[in-house]
Amino acid sequence: MKTSSLAIAVAFGACATVAQAQSPASAYGLPASGTLADRACRDCAMAGRGVPQAPKSARGSAALGKAGGKDLSAVFTFDAGALPDSRTAEERHYLGRQAFVGVAGKFGALTVGRHHDLEQLAVTDVADPFHGGLAVGAGNLVGHEDAELDTSVRFITRERHGLSAAASLGLGEVSGNPRGNRAWGVSVGLESGAFTVRLAHQNKNVAKVQTQTGLGNVMDAKNTILAANYDVGVGKVYAAYSANRGWGSSPLWNPDNPYGASMATTASTDSRDVLVGLAVPFGATTVLASFIRKNDRNLANQDANQAAIGLSYASSRRTDYYAAWSRITNRNGAGYRLAGAAAAPASSALNVGMRHSF
């Protein structure tokens, strides 16, 4: 058994038998260590999302032979975000990110388990020059606050002529509410030379409990995003437009205790987001920048802006050092904040650290 397979057997004993006969199983991750300085609050507890993480992850495949003339493989991924500062896992789950098993072939891949939702993947993979990392990620304002779907099924097609598509269904499983957390999503994308574009939609019922009377309220978060990036030679430009409707369609971190705010804020139920960004390499150094405008269409008109700029220096193919600064400005009592930072009318944060992939 290879060293990588042995690591999986130790960390994921239940799945070791899947990879034992085959050697394609491997451990992978992106350990990161750094610091987050937040000017908005001195005594506030840090949230895990903006704090550097060290994922402990494994993935692999095993050939199943041919079925109907098509080669099939069993695949699995276990992806957890460990927080080195507190020695806990992301979201207090053993596997805080993805955890799924399934089959893959020429048709694509069909998997069951815990997945990233398709709308958030469009943000991090296509729209955001920071790819969702650190406190400067686009997820502070764009999309909803829960990026994973529990008890879900996902199908992803193989890319053909640059075209690809995906669909997902999350069953929710909230006690006392059959529709609670139930979600579905679809996406379609195109990659053609230097141009990448993806359209994604996510619909999720965010009700925690089932109402006893028919109030006619629709407790669904509906998020649609059109994201694109284009390599212009000297760098890459990014852009996205997002329409968000319904309860829970916009992120609001800890709304029940907004760290001393005079009144509890409410996330927008009807908003439009615009994102523009760029990434310009200068040798081993890359300059990153983005700007996001959230336009709240509710009567409260709680708009917000986020500006971010960063530097990344690649000392090797797998290791880089980074520094990033970001600032969110809230209007009319909006409670949006940088991941891992405090809620305030205006807050800024500085991330400094290093990352190593394997």
CA dihedral 281, 313, 240, 340 (to 10 degrees): -160
Distance CA 32, CA 320 (A): 10
Pick from 90, 74, 86, 76: nearest CA to 30 = 90
Question: Which tops the pLDDT comparison, 255 or 32?
Answer: 32
Most confident of 9-23, 84-98, 141-155: 141-155
Where residue 58 falls among pLDDT bands split at 50, 70, 90? low
Closest CA to 116 of 74, 81, 89: 81
Q: Cα(235)–Cα(256) distance, rounded to whole angstroms?
A: 42
CATH code of the domain covering residue 101: 2.40.160.10
Residue 259: pLDDT above 80? no
Contact 291, 275 (CB under 8 A): yes
Instruction: State residue 48 phi and psi, 5-degree precision.
Output: -65, -25
On the question of pLDDT at 125 being above 50, the answer is yes
What phi and psi values does residue 96 have, to the nearest 5 degrees? -80, -10
Do 64 and 72 contact (CB within 8 A), yes or no? Answer: yes
Tally of domains within the chain: 1
Least confident segment among 173-182, 242-251, 278-287, 289-298: 173-182
CB-neighbour burial class of residue 56 (10 A; exposed 0-12, middle 13-18, buried 19+): buried
Highest mean pLDDT among 26-30, 85-89, 235-239 belongs to: 235-239
> What pLDDT is attached to residue 263?
41
In this structure, of 16-20, 126-130, 250-254, the range with the lowest mean pLDDT score is 16-20
Res 93: pLDDT: 57
Q: Quote the CA–CA distance of 335 and 302 in Å, as a whole number.
A: 8
Average pLDDT (175-189) is 82
pLDDT of residue 162 exceeding 50, the answer is yes
Q: Residue 27: pLDDT above 50? A: yes
Confidence of residue 70 (pLDDT cuts 50, 70, 90): low
With 70 as the cut, is the pLDDT of residue 276 above it? yes
Phi-psi domain of 206 (left: phi exceeds 0; alpha: psi -120 through 50; beta: other):
alpha
CA 47 to chain centroid, in Å, comes to: 15
Spatial neighbors of 323 by CB under 8 A, at least 6 apart, are 310, 311, 350, 351, 352
pLDDT band of residue 12 (cuts 50, 70, 90) is very low
Mean per-residue pLDDT of the chain:
75
pLDDT confidence tier of residue 136, bands split at 50, 70 and 90: confident
Question: Which of 59-68, 132-141, 278-287, 315-324 is least confident?
Answer: 59-68
DSSP code string of 116-177: E-HHHHHIIIII-TTTT-STT-GGGTSS-S--EEEEEEEEEEPPBTTEEEEEEEE---BTTB
Amino acid 11: pLDDT:
32
Of 354, 349, 355, nearest to 36 by C-alpha is: 349
In angstroms, the first-to-last Cα distance of the chain is 19
Residues 6 or more apart from 167 whose CB is under 8 A from it? 118, 154, 155, 184, 185, 186, 187
Tell me the C-alpha distance between 247 and 205, whole Å. Answer: 8
Q: Are 325 and 287 in contact (CB under 8 A)?
A: no
Average pLDDT over residues 66-77: 72
Return the higher-pLDDT residue of 254 and 99. 99
| Chain position carrying tokens 């991750």 | 29
**Which residue range is the domain that position 332 belongs to?**
3-356
The CA-based dihedral angle spanning residues 9, 13, 19, 25, taken in that order and rounded to the nearest 10 degrees: -50
- pLDDT of 264 over the 50 cut: no
Q: Measure the CA–CA gap between 1 and 45, rounded to whole angstroms.
A: 43
Question: What are 222's two structure tokens?
Answer: 């509906």
Q: Which of 90, 91, 64, 87 is nearest to 75 (CA)?
A: 64
Residue 356: pLDDT band (50, 70, 90) is: confident
Q: Residue 186's pLDDT band (boundaries 50, 70, 90)? A: very high
Q: Do the beta carbons of residue 279 and residue 233 sit within 8 Å?
A: no
Q: Which of 221-235, 238-252, 257-271 has the lowest mean pLDDT?
A: 257-271
Reported confidence tier of residue 83, pLDDT bands at 50, 70, 90: low
- Report residue 276 CA to chain centroid gap: 18
pLDDT of res. 33: 59
Q: Has residue 340 got a pLDDT over 70?
A: no
Q: Does an H or E element contain 115, and which?
A: strand 108-116
- pLDDT band at 155; cut points 50, 70, 90: very high
